[in-house]
Structure 1
Amino acid sequence: MRKLIPDLAILAALILLAAFFRAYRLDELPPGLHYDEAFKAVTAERLLAGGERPIFFRENMTEEPMAIYAASLSFAIFGASPWALRIVSALVGILGVAALYALARALFASRLIAALAALVLAILYWHVNFSRLGMEPIFAPTMMTLCMFFLWRGWNKSNAQSLSPRVTRHASLDFVLAGIFLAATQYTYKAALVFPFFIFTFLIFEILARKNDWKELTRPLALFALAALLGFAPLGLYFAQHPAEFLERPTSVVLNAAGVATILDNTLKVGGMFFLRGDANPRSNLPDRPALDPFLAILFLIGMLACARSWRDARARLIWLWFGVQLLPSILSDFAPHFGRSIGATPALALIVAWGIASLKRKAESTKPHAPYLLFTVYCLLATGFAFSAFSTYRDYFQVWGARTGNFDSFDVGVLELAQKLRAQSNAERIFLSPLAREHYTIQFGLNGRAAESFDGRRALVIAPNATYGIITREDSRTLARLAQIFPNGAITARIFDFAAQPYAAIFRAAGAANIAPQKNLDARVGDVAQVIGYDLARDGNALALTIYWRARAESREDFTVFAHLVDSREQVIAQDDAPPGHQSYPTSRWRADEIVMDDYRFVLPESLARGEYRVEIGMYILETGARLIVTDANGARMENDRVLLERISLP
């Protein structure tokens, strides 16, 4: 037990350091809740509510289950919040640092190398960033590290310089645990799909290197493979039954039919991300910041050379293979360099840096009689360098990246705030959103079960009594003005500003009678669904702008498509704009009786349009069959061709 005290003390210090970088101000940074994070939060809430508990999630272009189920456990303990979602990633990141210490200790039998490797990972901006996101990538390197720890320890229980395994009960347990964690990697993140390839390649190399005594590995490797297969079986069965779903996300980002030049270009970008230009995505990085600061970059280069010179050492082969294979998801996909897809390489990167430091230490020790002075110099430089790296990560994340005004959009801050303010409205009021769809996961999480409707105010407006409208005015500059005109007694009850103090959104509460005044009044019924009460028609440059005023007659479960055609005197269609109401943003299946829908359409006029008289015809039809809904006039008489003909207009 006494022998463990130094390791435990070092590990405790490393965990505290890792925890600081991953948990400090976690309730503030990142701000808001990004769409992908919100998907996990909403799905985790659904799991807690007793919904279906799938082994694989089909929504959001498919997701692996580990992060979502972990989030549901956190919500059960802490309640649903962005912090409760992200603390899971922080804990997993901290566990990854501790696991790397254990792996490096098993690989090198050296507290120094183990501490250095874990220290690199603890302060690595790349790893810190993903440890603070409520997303799945950080789960992958942690599961990979645990797999490699148990595999190496089982392979070589006490002597990291020998490949002769001690197949004991404890070693057998290590192989079983290694297999379980190998399977676990496949429940984390798509980029982990290549990890088994690394394991297989490494084991083949090492078995071939053993030549005559490889047969003694049969039993432990069989245990390893069996545990991995059994652990993967539930997900593997789903994969066999739904291969298209399982591969939906990878196939959407992989470089299809990419030539050698494209792959080479991506390889150069991924290689350059460590020294020159990193990921440009503000969710994954301080945009363009290299993965390594200058100090770590120098040590990384030294470590790569040291590993290359030690290629006969199984440990060097393991680290090189791990590092290279886990960069493939970024090399072979779009938007390279992509820190998320290559995050599985971070433990190997930290081991390479530690190896480089160890080689410097050995070099200094061998330089006699000046070894003590050189060692002292090396230690001072290392202490200074790591202090610089830690400060660099702190400054770049908490001060530089944390102060970015662009984070407002990158993490849907305004979307979450708008949804939370709407949730606080009276339950007697109907809630409408524009132009963002109610299905947006950040909206869903912010509303927390509060019912809401949505439409795209750039293409429609829904008028209902006792309604409150949440409008993202930065994107929809039209709706607020229209509402103020229709509801003169209404008022803006709240405004939301972005981090640059620019208007982002507003909440408008309708009050009093609606002032609905179309240019032309009509009275025509379209099926049992709608009544046309009027329209606006105006020239808009080289187009005609049409607004149809629908009154919902009754609720419908079906979605109908509106046809709006410009026809000539021979009934030939000259221009058209067919779409569900609101251009799909407010379909008829969402309509409620007596509400008014102002539905906008636009006809682009052909340049060769002949001078003459034209008319606009409107109505609705069933998209699947093309059958039009019956149209009747105010007296109940059926109208010709089940359409409403508007006034004649002279064009061009």
Structure 2
Amino acid sequence: MWYDEAEAGLQARRWLSTPLYKPAFYDPINISGQLLWLYALALKWLSDTVWGMRLVSVGFGLGGVPAAFLLGRELRGARFGLIFAFLLAVMRWDINFSRIAMTGIDTPFFELLALFFLTRALKRGTLRDAVFAGLTIGWGLTFYTAFRLFIAAVGVFALLGIGIWKISAPRRAYLGWQVLALGIAVWIAAMPVVQYAARHPDSYWYRVRTTSILNRRDDPNLLHALLISTERHLKMFHVHGDNNGRHNLPGEPELDPLLGVLFVFGLALALKNLRRAENGFFLLLLPIGLLGGILSLDFEAPQSLRTIAVLPAVAYFSALPLLWFAREGAETLRPIPLKWQLLPAALAALYLLGFNAHTYFVRQANDFSVWNAFSTPETITGREMARLGAETDFFLSPFLANHPTIEFLAPNAPHTTIFTLPDALPIRTDATRPAALFIHPDDGWIFRRAQQLYPAATFKTETNHPDNPPAVFIAELSPADISAVQGIGLTLRAGSDTAQPPQQAFRSESLSLPDGISLPPPFTAVWEGTLYAPKFGTYRFQLSTPAATALEIDGFPVLNGAGNQSARFTLAQGNHHLRVRAAFSGGEPSFSLQWEPPGGSLAEISRQFLYTPPVSARGLLGE
């Protein structure tokens, strides 16, 4: 689930849960309130998952197919409409963006629908079609920014038309009413976003400014950067396509071989017959639509999302040769039975369908760059967190911190901690709940260290193929795994000679004498292990025992003697070697060692601050 999808989903959930939250525009991911509203409806009525949101894009993608048919039929008849719609339906460029919950695929849908109503309005002269065209254009303006390039193409075409075509006075008067109706409809549909843009221009134009080649580029020479970007975008159809795994199989040409040939042939046919208005319009839309990518960041070129406004033009030009072949073939092959005449068309259709389906659903689906481009580490982390449930302690690499994908997929994860590097392990909880560690590959050393500390835990390496790099490492720890290294080693020896072999050995959960000691005084108790200091500062240690006791931290004496005594000692954050020796000479043995951390109160040193091997005293953070 890509970052932008998750962020949109979080805002859509907020739309549903907060009555007063109804933004006209959400600038962090450059989407309008209209799209958020659609996502909110999808989450509420379809599925509160990314699949519910993606169905919105599927709807726009599917809606573009009948819109293409309607426009094609209006321009050149039903046969052309079917060809036009089929090519758009099987085009991988269109399919790809129909399956991501982000704005973009709405642009071709609104373009085709607007052109359909505009064509009808010009042919039939009805106000109704002008109003529908205006509403479609207005709604299109509230979605992806590439639609504005379509409006620019329509505007240039209209200006050229005024100079080229002669319009009678009565028709000109009625056309004025149509333009007025269209303008009012555009204003009604686009008004919320237009008002937002007028009141908050910095927010509305933020994404455009930050992705403009005028403001950001690798090449300091603007002219050279523009030339290189133009060249890359012209080549993306046949030579080298978008490198972004979310947009394309990286580097794969945007058009399949057959569609690429048809596209060039169709351009030639359109240039040969400029008297047809539709040829002229799509010849304008193609270069103007490409400006969305050419004028954006040069290091991202070619960009198939920002140039998505050219999709109707690409499908139109690719359909022209097929219509020409159909007409020529009908005359040339008239004596041949119809079923044999249709065979070449059927084979071409099967090739287009099969090639694009195989590229998208097989090659692209199994490509690591594509798989890993959709916030994959965060997606796996979020799904696993949701599976494990709220009663698990989660520990995440800093790379995974505060990511909307995790927040969307696992909204109920109250016990989540971000690793403090390099002081990541051991896990310092009271071991009352299981824990799960989600480790980014760049922090792989944490995973290897966890395998050393918790050999009985469950470890997983997530990737789409064993030969590919890992996306995320996962370690699942039970409470027993966590507590296995907690506490401190305690040995008991008769008398005061600590060189003798111990009579009893324990792993104690605190610096006290456990129940079950069978050794009578005199005996010597030695606690030895690792003490974790949670912060830098001065700690107060309070001892209460009748035994002669020596407390050493990192080899430095802190307390020495019997009875009630205390001392202060400065510790850096991290692990310290701790050794306590207490010699009990007689009477009822008792022992208590407490501490008072900086800013805290006097308390027993609990087990999440005490560790046994393989945890060792290394790695300190000063201040």
TM-score (norm 2): 0.72
Whether the 8 Å contact between 1:307 and 1:316 is mirrored in structure 2 is yes
Given the alignment, which residue of 234, 242, 264 partners 1:279? 242
Corresponding residue number in structure 2 for 1:204: 159
Given the alignment, which residue of 137, 140, 165 partners 2:107? 140
Task: Determine if the alignment matches structure 1 residue 112 to structure 2 residue 79.
Answer: yes
Task: Determine if the alignment matches structure 1 residue 448 to structure 2 residue 416.
Answer: no
1:144-184 alpha-carbon deviations (Å, 9 max, x no partner)? 11111111111112xxxxxxxx3xxxx21111111111111
Task: Determine if the alignment matches structure 1 residue 357 to structure 2 residue 312.
Answer: no
Question: Does the residue aligned with 2:396 lie in a helix, a strand or coil?
Answer: strand
Structure 1 gaps, min length 5: 1-32, 158-165, 526-530, 539-549, 555-593, 597-615, 620-652
Whether the 8 Å contact between 2:71 and 2:116 is mirrored in structure 1 is yes
Aligned length: 496
Whether the 8 Å contact between 1:272 and 1:278 is mirrored in structure 2 is yes
Q: What letter matches 1:237 in structure 2?
A: Q
Corresponding residue number in structure 2 for 1:150: 117
**2:118 & 2:386 partners in 1: Cα distance?**
50
Task: Determine if the alignment matches structure 1 residue 399 to structure 2 residue 369.
Answer: no
1:609-620 aligned at under 5 Å gives the runs: 619=623
Task: Determine if the alignment matches structure 1 residue 57 to structure 2 residue 22.
Answer: no
Closer/same/farther in 2, CA of residues 552 and 329 from structure 1, 3 Å limit:
farther
Corresponding residue number in structure 1 for 2:603: none
Q: What letter matches 1:146 in structure 2?
A: L
Question: Which stretch has the larger CA shift, 186-195 or 354-363?
Answer: 354-363
Corresponding residue number in structure 1 for 2:49: 81
Closer/same/farther in 2, CA of residues 256 and 456 from structure 1, 3 Å limit:
farther
Whether the 8 Å contact between 1:172 and 1:223 is mirrored in structure 2 is yes
Corresponding residue number in structure 1 for 2:382: 419
Closer/same/farther in 2, CA of residues 247 and 520 from structure 1, 3 Å limit:
closer
Corresponding residue number in structure 2 for 1:180: 135
Given the alignment, which residue of 217, 222, 236 partners 2:175? 217
Given the alignment, which residue of 355, 359, 382 partners 2:345? 382
**2:429 & 2:205 partners in 1: Cα distance?**
44
Corresponding residue number in structure 1 for 2:309: 344
Whether the 8 Å contact between 1:435 and 1:475 is mirrored in structure 2 is no
Structure 2 gaps, min length 5: 216-220, 489-529, 540-568, 577-595, 601-606, 610-619
Corresponding residue number in structure 2 for 1:268: 231
Question: Does the residue aligned with 2:365 lie in a helix, a strand or coil?
Answer: helix
By how many angstroms is 1:508 displaced?
4.3
Corresponding residue number in structure 1 for 2:68: 100
Corresponding residue number in structure 1 for 2:92: 125
Task: Determine if the alignment matches structure 1 residue 192 to structure 2 residue 123.
Answer: no
1:276-310 alpha-carbon deviations (Å, 9 max, x no partner)? 11111121111222122121122111211111112
1:593-632 aligned at under 5 Å gives the runs: 619=623
By how many angstroms is 1:119 displaced?
0.5
Closer/same/farther in 2, CA of residues 256 and 465 from structure 1, 3 Å limit:
farther
Whether the 8 Å contact between 2:146 and 2:306 is mirrored in structure 1 is yes
By how many angstroms is 1:96 displaced?
0.5
Alignment identity in percent?
23
TM-score (norm 1): 0.69
**2:385 & 2:104 partners in 1: Cα distance?**
32
Closer/same/farther in 2, CA of residues 364 and 77 from structure 1, 3 Å limit:
same
Whether the 8 Å contact between 1:306 and 1:359 is mirrored in structure 2 is no
Whether the 8 Å contact between 1:322 and 1:348 is mirrored in structure 2 is yes
Whether the 8 Å contact between 2:532 and 2:575 is mirrored in structure 1 is no
Closer/same/farther in 2, CA of residues 247 and 411 from structure 1, 3 Å limit:
same
Question: Does the residue aligned with 1:132 lie in a helix, a strand or coil?
Answer: coil
Task: Determine if the alignment matches structure 1 residue 317 to structure 2 residue 280.
Answer: yes
Corresponding residue number in structure 1 for 2:505: none
**1:458 & 1:489 partners in 2: Cα distance?**
19
Closer/same/farther in 2, CA of residues 507 and 49 from structure 1, 3 Å limit:
farther
Corresponding residue number in structure 2 for 1:534: 572
**1:551 & 1:197 partners in 2: Cα distance?**
67
By how many angstroms is 1:452 displaced?
4.8
**1:377 & 1:293 partners in 2: Cα distance?**
25
Larger radius of gyration: 2
Q: What letter matches 1:98 in structure 2?
A: P
**1:408 & 1:67 partners in 2: Cα distance?**
26
Whether the 8 Å contact between 1:178 and 1:224 is mirrored in structure 2 is yes
1:309-367 alpha-carbon deviations (Å, 9 max, x no partner)? 12122111122222222111011112121111111211221111222222334445666
Question: Which stretch has the larger CA shift, 317-326 or 390-399?
Answer: 317-326
Whether the 8 Å contact between 1:416 and 1:442 is mirrored in structure 2 is yes
Corresponding residue number in structure 2 for 1:524: 538
By how many angstroms is 1:239 displaced?
0.7
By how many angstroms is 1:448 displaced?
2.6
